[in-house]
Each structure stands twice: as C-alpha cells, then as structure tokens.
Amino acid sequence: MSWKVTLPCTRQEAEALHEEDEWLATMDPVPSIVADEVEAFNDAKWRIEVYFAKKPDSSIVALIQSRLPSAAEAKPILAKLPDEDWVVLSQQGLKPVRAGRFYIHTDANKGKVPADTISIHIEASRAFGTGGHETTSGCLTMLDKLKRQGKRYELIADIGTGTGLLAFAACHLWPRAYLTASDIDPVSVDVTAENARLNGYLLGARQGEIALCTASGTDHPLIRQRAPYDLLIANILAGPLIELAPSLAQILGEGGTLMVAGLLDSQACAVVSAYRKLGFRLQRRQNTGDWPCLIFVKRTRYGWQRPLRADGRTSQPPGDFGTW
C-alpha cells in the first residue's frame, strides 16, 4: 500500500519544495510531491500532497509541516491509498481532449483514439500545456481552422512552448515549415524534447524539424536569426503578451499571423490595444470559456512608419505558467 499526506500551503512554499532537497534525500525511498492550487489566481490557497511507499511516522509529517509556515496550525490529512502508481492516481481526473483534428491524451486516459484525429501523447508533467486547459485547446482549434482555410506558413515560432504541444500541432499541419519552439524555463525545453521523441517529432534546424532553445521572450540568437516569421504563437500570460508586443512585432514579417492566448476575457481589451498601437489588425477572436484566443495580422505598411523599442525580453519568471 502507499500513503498520502495533504497539507495547505502558499504557492511560494509549494515551489520551494524539491525532491533534491537534503531533507527529502534522507528518506528511503524518497517521497513524491504534487503541488496544486485550491483557488484560481490565489497564491495563498495552494496545497501539497506527499506520497510515501509506507506509512510515514509523525516525525516525518512534522518535518514536512515545518517547511510550510502557513500550515503551522493546520491538521495534516493522512490517507491510505491502494497499491497503485501515484502518477496514475493524480491523472485520473484528466480526460482526453479533442480540439479540431487533434486528440490529446496521457497514458492513463488514452481510451480509443477516434479514427479521424491526430493523436498526441502529453503526460501531466513539469511544464504547462497538456491540452486540458481551455486556453491550450482553444489554440489547437484555431490552428486547425487556419489550416482548413488554406493558410500556408514556412517559418513558425512557438514562444513559451511549455510541453511543446502547440509546436507539435503546427509541425503536423505545416510539415515543410521551419519551426522554432522556445521557453523561458529550461525545464519546459527539456520536457518538450522528451515529448517530441515520445510522439515521433524530429528535433533540429531543417524543414519539418523543431529547433529548441531557452529564451526570455524573443531574446535568443536562434529566434532572431530565423526571423521574420509568418506565424507566431504565444500562449503565455496577459502581462508578458503586452510586454513582448514590440519584440513580437519586430520578428513577425509583414502580413504575418500572430496567435496569442493565455489571457482572460477581462484582459483581452488591454492586449488588443497594445498590439493595435503597433499596427496589428485583430482578424479573429475565439472564446473558449473565459479564455479568448486572438488572431492578429501585421499590416504590410508597418515597420518603416514607426520605431520599435524592443529588447526581446520579458520579466516573467521561469517556471511561472500562470494558474492553469
């Protein structure tokens, strides 16, 4: 049997817990930790679940609680679990996602893949983007619509790639394109490489391959050298989208398509305003729940009329995927 200890915490406390910490390394076997938000957009309302191969004694539970100052007065919840893989248990609530022609699944929820879909295997992992959130599924649907409209792209970049899901979808839709995928978090880049191998997508710099790099926004030689792009995808957060507007404008070719997502409906006006000021035209807006996906087109006369002040960087910290 296996055991689970659940405690409330803050987001900062959850992110400070790592399996490599010395206090965890002394335990044999080393327990696994899963952190999750309890209330969306509330960093004070998180929880951790610590999984053990055998029942932890009170001193171990007290040690964990001591590392969570906000849980000092909380009563730990100790639960006995069936003898199953905790990763599978943590993913039982996930369902496969169908978005456009794509079918996104994990090992635990694959089920029967519909015959008319493209299957992509993405495990719930250390990076954002398993397809289950409306902002990601909305992007997949929009990419599918662009393809059905006959859009053709030769140079594509996915800025803030997370697990690589949107880059994989674009690679399937436009298999002869040169595709770049980047993220501010090196863990996400590693996860994307793992997922690419898992799904049979090639990594590299040639047509039909995905070139990976770790970058803050567009601040990387690989991203700059491959510009101008004719399709940019940025499924990040509203703040970084606004902050990166001049930089994204700088690397997108005239007449190019920009897809942005990761913003709430209440944030859309501010994002649209930031890009309109730079000469972009909002071509389409698709809402999936409270999460819009926006398609902009860069005006062909843009560039020589307006100076750009862009350093390519964002202040978004690595590992901050929002509250998906």
Residue numbers in the known binding site for S-adenosyl-L-methionine are 136, 160, 183, 235
For tokens 């519909």, the residue is 114
Contact 151, 277 (CB under 8 A): no
Which of 171, 212, 206 lies closest to 190, judged by CA? Answer: 212
What's the rounded Cα separation, in Å, for the pair 314 and 236?
Answer: 11
What residues are designated binding site?
A: 136, 160, 183, 235
SS3 for 21?
coil
Q: What is the DSSP string of 229-295?
A: EEEEEEES-HHHHHHTHHHHHHHEEEEEEEEEES--GGGHHHHHHHHHTTTEEEEEEEEETTEEEEE
CA distance 54 to 63: 16
Could you give the count of Cα atoms lying within 13 Å of 24 in the half-sphere of its Cβ?
16
